[in-house]
Amino acid sequence: MEKPLSLILFFGFLLLVFLGIFALLFHESVQPLTDKEFGKHTIYVNKYTPIHVIVADTASKKQKGLGGRDTMAPGEGMLFVFNRPARWRVWMRGMKFGLDILWLSEDGTVIDLKRTVYPESYPDVFEPERPAKYILEVLTGFSEANGIEKGTKIDLNL
């Protein structure tokens, strides 16, 4: 007995919808975690250069930092937010790629920076010359490519 063409088309359509939904769900699950997190907050260098950051404002986020991630793109970073200025220290435990580390004052001015810090530097610890309220970690080379020096203003949009 032959099935009506409309029934075959209906089940074919349902199969396509199911496969489409499955593909979307599978695609979302294999994207790196960083793609979902970066860009939740955007800060700006000299008012024009955006940096899409994850804000580390809890103890657990600060402790983990960017450790364990495979990489991040230029123009992405992590902004560590502290309650008060201090000589906050950074190390490369669990890191898989190099960073530029920038310590910022309460108004977002770069007060110290350490360029090209690689995972192999662990267990070395890096700290600023004077107290900082924020730490910004970006991909190695980003600060030099964008003219970031001591005294550069970062608009934190906080």
Domain map (residue ranges) of the chain = 1-30, 33-155
Neighbours of 81 (CB within 10 A): 16
Tell me whether strands 132-139 and 76-86 are parallel, antiparallel or unpaired.
antiparallel
DSSP SS3 for 42? strand
Q: Are 151 and 103 in contact (CB under 8 A)?
A: no
Under the banding of pLDDT at 50, 70 and 90, the label for residue 48 is confident
Q: For 54-69, what is each residue's pLDDT tens digit? A: 999 988 888 888 988 8
pLDDT of residue 22: 52
How confident is the model over 105-122, as pLDDT tens digits? Answer: 999 999 999 999 999 999
Fold of domain 33-155: Jelly Rolls (2.60.120)
Which pTM value belongs to this model? 0.75
Encoded tokens for 129? 């010359």
- Say what the pLDDT of residue 145 is: 94
The whole-angstrom separation of Cα 40 and Cα 135 is 17
Write phi, then psi, for 114 (nearest 5 degrees). -130, 115
H or E stretch covering 52 = strand 49-56
3-state secondary structure of 83: strand
Distance between CA atoms of residues 31 and 71, nearest Å:
13
Residue 46's pLDDT is 85
β-pairing verdict for 132-139 and 99-104: antiparallel
Predicted pLDDT at 36: 46
Contact 98, 139 (CB under 8 A): yes
